[in-house]
């Protein structure tokens, strides 16, 4: 949790991931976990979240997407967000 600064939009985006993604939509931890990260990006709270939160989220999204789908390039708008905020190669 150290990568998630405590702001209202960061917390709301985490809730979109956890409650909506895993709880309501049923995205599991082995084959569809990446979709819970997509839910954060799709939410109204993404724009207001902090840079560090966005960097951490897109890095985890890409890692899970590659592991679960087996493809390095993600569909839009996720790939654009990854290209903009990623820190994996820094």
Token readout for 16 is 């979109």
CA distance 67 to 51: 24
Residue 77 lies in a domain: yes
Please list, in sequence order, all residues whose beta carbon lies within 8 angstroms of the beta carbon of residue 13, skipping any fewer than 6 positions away: 40, 43, 45, 46, 49, 53, 57
Q: What's the whole-number mean pLDDT along residues 45-69?
A: 97
Token readout for 70 is 């087996």
Structural domain boundaries enclosing 20: 8-85
Please list, in sequence order, all residues whose beta carbon lies within 8 angstroms of the beta carbon of residue 50, skipping any fewer than 6 positions away: 5, 7, 9, 10
pTM of the model as a whole: 0.92
Residue 32 lies in a domain: yes
Does residue 89 have a pLDDT over 80?
Answer: no
Domain count, the chain: 1
CA distance 74 to 90: 19
CA distance 60 to 33: 10
Does residue 53 have a pLDDT over 70?
Answer: yes
Residue 90's pLDDT is 66
Does residue 25 have a pLDDT over 80?
Answer: yes
Does residue 45 have a pLDDT over 70?
Answer: yes
């Amino acid at each position: 949790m150290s990568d998630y600064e405590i702001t209202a939009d960061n917390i709301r985006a985490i809730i979109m991931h956890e409650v909506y993604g895993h709880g309501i939509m049923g995205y599991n931890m082995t084959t569809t976990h990446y979709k819970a990260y997509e839910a954060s990006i799709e939410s109204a709270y993404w724009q207001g979240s902090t840079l560090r939160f966005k960097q951490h989220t897109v890095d985890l999204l890409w890692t899970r997407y590659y592991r679960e789908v087996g493809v390095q390039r993600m569909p839009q708008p996720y790939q654009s967000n990854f290209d903009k905020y990623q820190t994996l190669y820094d």
